[in-house]
Structure 1
Amino acid sequence: MIYYNKNKKVILSMLLIMLNITFLFAQTIIEGNVIDFQTNRSLKDVTLTLENETHSNNKQVVVSNDKGEFLFNVDFPKGTYLLTVSAINYETKKNRIFINEDKKIRIDFVLTPINLEYF
């Protein structure tokens, strides 16, 4: 009987630990489009970087497709993240996102071309 109680306590403890770990992480989908401010056309090959502001090892990078669409499927610890959007000849945009629960987030970006004048 004592052996059974010890096993029961160990199993219960492990279940509680696993349950706590799942509450520390959030399965979040972040999706959207990137378009050009002047032409209102979709921008492809735009680099989007999602990085945890506290733990820089939690980082994910995606590139927009031909329709300007992007998708992050995030399984990071809950917290504040910086989403950086950059493309050649366009101004870089940055947004802070707080991930605290499982959800779907939609963000669209409008990038402004950099004025390239040669003297």
Structure 2
Amino acid sequence: MISTIAEFHPSTLAQPHPLQLGTHRPSEDTVIVRVDGDIDSHTAPRLHEMLQERVHGAIGTLVIDLTAVTFLSSSGLRTLELAYLPAVERGITCVLRPPTSGTVQRILALFPMRFTDAIAAP
């Protein structure tokens, strides 16, 4: 029996997508935070800072738009939860817009966390 070890080529791995954040205020009491790219241990602090600023502002609804997120790590999940919990405590409606397909939606579905009620249907 002959066994072979596959060669590892780092160039075949998916390259990270830089995180891009933006906000939109469609009404006086609603803020949409658009997230694009990878949310991992390196980029989650930027997202956390932006979300905390919005949660502690004068808003009634916070929409976190993840439709363009390409990767979500456990750090990213924690960041979302840390935005959701104080939002709910302050009476803010918090909605997560997940991607319509792909890894990020599966990750959100696999982790039954306290903010799962906020996940909008794709």
**Fold-level match, TM-score > 0.5?**
no
- Structure with bigger gyration radius: 1
More helix by share: 2
Q: Which has the higher contact order (CA 8 A, sep 6+)?
A: 1
